[in-house]
Amino acid sequence: MKKRQLGPCVTFFPQPATLICTSDRQDKINLMMASWVGIVSKTPPTIAVSLHHDRQTYANIMAGKVFSVNLVPARLAVAADACGLVSGSVADKHQLTGLEVVPGTVEGVFLVADSPLNVECRWLREVELGDYRLVMGEIVEIHACESAFDDNGQADVRTFDPLVYLGGLREYWSLGSKTADAYSAGSVLLKKQA
């Protein structure tokens, strides 16, 4: 396969499109679009979010030490993108997008009501990386859309309909079809070798 060298830059890896919900000391809510988001530990369950240090969201997290990460379903792509186009210090994201928020279980945490998956986090630690801050939050509670689950408690990702962000391309995509089961599909190769 012929390849092109791009130099050091950000990649085209698929990342989750999420809305980070925070509030300031006056309980003014802010919503930030974030895709530099991912699980980083199970002991304890920890999520990491990287964001520019001059963002209102970062100031809010530093002040309150709590935040929520809300999955963006594909149908909310436009509203979520609008949250990435304007700062919470100059615009009311609720007025702009019509997105409602509701209180979480932890004091000071608010959740995007229309998101099918909300993750409540408590600030754990952070790392300075140039202009960015990698904020790690311990996952305190997860709220998932009830209708996604069958009688066995198995969830169907199509109900969540997660929006995928491709950073290097600046594009949002939906999921297509299930390719394979993880920790399972590869066992055919192990059996062949045995």
Q: Which stretch binds a copy of itself (CB under 8 A): 21-29, 59-67, 184-192?
A: 184-192
Strand 117-129 relative to strand 66-71: parallel, antiparallel, unpaired?
antiparallel
Number of residues that bind a copy of itself (CB under 8 A): 108
* Rg (the chain; Cα; Å): 18
Structure tokens at 131: 């202009």
**Closest separation in Å from C-beta 194 to a copy of itself:** 11
Q: Smaller CB distance to a copy of itself: residue 5 or 25?
A: 5
Q: How far apart are CA 134 and CA 108, in angstroms?
A: 21
Identify whether the C-beta of residue 160 lies closer than 8 Å to the C-beta of residue 116.
yes
> Nearest to residue 112, comparing CAs of 149, 70, 77, 141?
70
Q: Identify residues 112-171 at the interface with a copy of itself (CB under 8 A).
A: 113-114, 116-119, 125, 127, 129-132, 134, 136, 138-147, 149, 154-155, 157, 160, 162-171
Q: Identify residues 92-111 at the interface with a copy of itself (CB under 8 A).
A: 95-97, 105
Q: Identify residues 63-92 at the interface with a copy of itself (CB under 8 A).
A: 69, 71, 74, 77-86, 91
Q: Identify residues 27-56 at the interface with a copy of itself (CB under 8 A).
A: 36-48, 50
Identify whether the C-beta of residue 144 lies closer than 8 Å to the C-beta of residue 162.
no
Q: Smaller CB distance to a copy of itself: residue 25 or 36?
A: 36
Q: Smaller CB distance to a copy of itself: residue 25 or 78?
A: 78
Q: How far apart are CA 168 and CA 134, in angstroms?
A: 19
